[in-house]
Structure formats: C-alpha cells, structure tokens
Chain A
Amino acid sequence: MVVIAVLGCALGPVPLSPVRVLATLIDLLPFVTMDDTLSPSQTAILLKLRLPRVALGLLVGGLLAGCGATYQGVFRNPLADPYLLGAASGAGLGAVTAITIGLAGDGIWGVPLFAFVGALAAVALTYGLGATGVNGGTTSLILAGVAVSAFASAVQTFLMQSNTEQLKEVYSWLLGRLATSGWRDVLVVLPYALLSLGFVVINRRILDVMALGDEEATMLGLRPNRARILFVLAATLGTAAAVSVSGLIGFVGIVVPHLVRLVFGSSHRVIIPLSIIVGAALLVGTDIVARMALAPAEIPIGVVTAFLGAPFFLLLLRSARR
C-alpha cells in the first residue's frame, strides 16, 4: 500500500522521482530532515495535487472494500456489495438530488448527507422487499437490490434530464473520479470513514458469530437483528461517504473481499482489515492507470475498475464454483 501510495504521488503529467517523493514526505515529519528532496514547485504539486488525490484514493478504496466485506458478512452472501444492495445507487440518487437542488456548492455537508440518506433508504427498501420473500433468502435480497438500484438510477436519470445545466458536472461525477479540489474532499470523507470503518474493524469478531446463522448466533448471546442493523448502518455510512466524493466506482467492494477470502480464509478478523488495506492500494493503483493510460486525458476511474474488475469477478465466480 505504501509503495503504491508513493508511486501514486510520483506519477502524473509532471513525473516526480519516487525516491525524492518519499524523501520529501519524510522531511515533512517533525524532527527529521532529508537532503534529497523535491524542488519547491515540485513539492507544491506533490502537496496540493498528488497527495490529496492519493489520500482520497486510499480512503475511498478502503471504504468501498471494507464496506463490501461488511455487507457480505452481514448478509452472509458473497454477492452482497454496495452496488448489488442498492446502497451505491441510492447514495448516487441522494447526491444527484443534492447537486440539482443546488446544495453542492456549499458542499461539506450537503452531498454526503443526502448520499447517506439515499443509501440508507435504498438499503432499507432492499432489505424490506428482500426479506418478505420466502425465508427472507439471500437470493430475494439480491434481486430486490437489483430492482431498487434500477429504480434509483431511473429517478436519477430523470432528475439529470430535467436539470440539463448541471448534466456535465453530474455525469463526470457519476462515472467515478478521484480528481479533487485539494484537501477538501479528503476532509469531507475522513470523519465518516473513521466512524464507519472504525466500528466495523473493532467489532469484526461479531461478523464471525453472525456467519453461524441467526439461530446459533442467538444461542451465543448475540441479538442478530440489532447487530445487523448496526453493521448495515456503518457500512452504508461508509459507502455513502465514498460515493459522495468519488461517484460510482464499481467492483472494488466485491472483488477485493473475494480476493482476500480466497487467499486468507474466511475469518472476518482477517478479511475486514486486509480488505481495507488491499482496497486502498488497489484504488490508488487503478487511479494511476486512469491518469496514465490516455495521458494527458484522464479515464474516469469507475471505467477502469469496471474494465479490470468485471472480467476478474467472472473469473472468481468460475473458480468458486469448482
């Protein structure tokens, strides 16, 4: 993760030496001085452009992967992720609503709050619809998620079409992006990320208890419904925060936890923290590709994750079936 983060700072339209980037960053720490640092203008690029972008990438990637792993644990379904449950599209709808009614300008609270409300409503709706099926099975849950997502997207498209003046802004946001206005976006996400991931990481052993099913979890003294609500709230908050600053970046939330589970087994003690770290590194890595592949033009990062993630996901599905 550290290596990718340094590379993420170094690569770009103005290439900076990774070694010097590292040296400059260490130099910024108190009580440490390094000789071989970047020039002042390079340092400005690093601190004002690259570093916030990398920080945002780490946060968003960690959030998406960590929340994906949480959803999968809570619903005991490897296919659950921020997208399939409707959380992301709900957050998207919330955010678009905020943008179209003109709340985006004073930004810090408006968009994330609307995104959170939208995401929560979507997950509640998905859960409400899905749980009414026979046995409240996970299949009906996922199907409900697909329906809710489609509905939220439809409403969102309607909003976009009836507010064409903001169309471009909304559209670039929708495709997923990490382009930032300096540190502001990072500061917007950070408290939500700490709250959401903090809760999940500290309580991750409970996800292992829930993996035993409601009945056995109850026998171990857990109240499954209460636990489920708390985890879903935490994961939805995290998803909404990520979506509100970076738009819709798909597949990170599902591919990363799968990958971690494949390699390190299924205890959430391991899956949750590793998913966060791997997700963070992966998103920054993907962002490098997004910036460099068609330089000087940027590919929206959501396009890159889908481009890489979708085939990989199919591969995982195949190997899981065997």
Chain B
Amino acid sequence: MISAYGLGVRIAGKVLLDQVSFEVPAGQWMGIVGPNGAGKSTLLRTLVGLTRHTGAVAVADRNIRTVPAKELARMVAVVVQQPVIPEGIAVGDYVLLGRSAHLGLLQRETRHDRARVTAVLAQLELTEFAERRMRTLSGGELQRVFLARALVADPAVLLLDEPTTALDIGHQQEVLGLIDRIRGTRELTILSTMHDLTMAGEYADRILLLHNGRVLRDGSPAEVLEPGLLAGTYGATLEVIPADPVRGFGGPVVVPVRSRADLS
C-alpha cells in the first residue's frame, strides 16, 4: 500500500535518512522504532513529500511526486507529534478540518462532510466533546481528537508520529487499542513511530528499527526486539522477555534494567 525505495534525506550536509526501503502491504501496522535522532519523524514527513529527498515513495503503486497534493492528502492522513491547536477552536470544528482534502477552492463543507465528522466522533467516543473547546481537554482526549481529524479524511494509510508519548500507560493502551479496533472495522494501513518498544511489539505486526537514518532491521517483533541488537542500538542495558501468549504477552517484553556496572 505504501512503499519506500532507497529514500535519502540530507539537510545541511547531515544525513538524516540513507537508503531506507520497505513495502507495507494494505492492512498492515508497521511500528517504526529507533533511538532519538534515528530519523523516525523525518521518515514520516518524507512519506508525504514534506522533505527534499532522493529515492521514491509510492502510495497505492503511484509515485507521490506525480500525485496532486489534495489527492495524496485523501490517501494518506498524518497525526504529527505536537499538532497545532488554534486558539479557542471547538472539537467539532477542528475535526472538520480533516475533510479539507475533499474540498476545493470555493467549496464549502457539505452535509456529507459533517456526517463523517459525527460518525467518527461517535466511533472514538468523542460525541459529548463536539462543542467543547480543545484547551479544556485532557491529554488522552486530545490524542483521540487528533486521531479523529485524521480519520475523517477516510485515508487508506495513517501515519502516526509518537501517538502515545505524552500519555500515561492507561491512556497509551486506550489509544493504541482504539487504533487497533478501527483497523478491524476497515482496511487501514498504519505506520507509527513509537518510543515504547514493548507497546510496539504488542500492537504492530512488523517493526522497522532505524539507527542514524538507516534500517538496521525490519521484521516481526520477535525478530527485531532482540536483546543484543537493541542494547547496541540504544546504548542501553536491557532484558527481553520472549513473547508468551499464555501469560498474556502478545510480543516480546523489553525491560530496561539498571546496568550491572552501576551496582558493583
């Protein structure tokens, strides 16, 4: 559904992405992990053509350079890490902005656009917030609203940049569970950058590990969440408890531990 072919991005002589390639089939959820500065956010921005890059991105087998901006926005929706919240805007109006890709110059939102907003708000259990101003919402509620704005565009691909970073573990599970449920209701391809490796393993079908702009490994959670590989990449001391469906671990559990050197 969305593919990258030898993506390279360099800004001011610094290499941010180098030879990044992958193909994500329709309906798959790919988690993108890697240390700070690995190029995760740059990758997402490149996938919607926001960076000057070499290589190519294809969505539904079309090179995005040949796809008009509006059409691309209808196919790929993005939730950035820290979305801008216009002062004083109401939740319903904010979510309605997600329909922009379906509207041309001189066109106004139709009843159909508003119906989509109502439906998505209901799906994300946000109906009661529709008239509330964004500033009055909690972190978890806001994240659901951002998700709603992306979903009203009816995209085939959803890109999420750190969808759970600002949330406590309960709300992280709530948001990721919600995304997973939506994926069940219609075919949606998801690429999400994630910090929490255990969460990535629990929810994503596949994990892409980036380091210094390069793909270090691309595979199932069990293949990527490997103690030696992660410890080296992150410069961290950690343990990995293998996936154990009987005990309720859907994927490998990555546990950072205090380094032994500290203890002695």
Chain A residues packing against B (C-beta within 8 Å): 202-203, 205-206, 208-209, 211-213, 215-216, 218-223, 230, 261, 265-267, 269
Contacts and interface: CB of A to CB of B under 8 A. Distances in A.
B121 interface: no
A269 B93 contact: yes
A216 B101 contact: no
B246 interface: no
Given A205-B103, A212-B83, A216-B84, A221 B73 contact: yes
B73 A261 contact: no
A71 B89 CA distance: 18
Interface residues of B, number: 31
Contacts of B78: 216, 219
Contacts of A220: 73, 97-98, 100-101, 153
B87 A266 contact: yes
Contacts of B97: 205, 208-209, 212, 220
Given A212-B86, A216-B84, A261-B87, 16 more contacts: A203-B106, A205-B100, A205-B103, A209-B97, A211-B84, A211-B86, A215-B80, A219-B73, A219-B80, A220-B100, A220-B101, A220-B153, A221-B101, A222-B69, A266-B87, A267-B89
Nearest to A210: B86
Contact of A219 (B48, B89, B105, B108): B48
A216 B103 contact: no
* Residue among A205, A209, A221, A230 with most chain B CB within 10 A: A221
Contacts of A216: 78, 80, 83-84
B161 to A, nearest CB: 11
27 contacts: A202-B106, A208-B93, A208-B97, A209-B97, A212-B84, A212-B86, A212-B97, A213-B84, A215-B45, A215-B80, A216-B84, A218-B69, A219-B78, A220-B73, A220-B97, A220-B101, A221-B69, A221-B71, A222-B69, A223-B69, A261-B87, A265-B88, A265-B89, A266-B89, A267-B88, A267-B89, A267-B93
Nearest to B109: A205
Interface string B151-174: 001000000000000000000000
Contacts of A266: 86-89
A223 B105 CA distance: 11
A208 to B, nearest CB: 6
B74 interface: yes
Contact of B86 (A208, A222, A223, A230): A208
B60 to A, nearest CB: 16
Contact of A221 (B72, B86, B88, B106): B72
Contacts of B87: 261, 266
A111 B48 CA distance: 46
B64 interface: no
Contacts of B69: 218, 221-223
A194 to B, nearest CB: 15
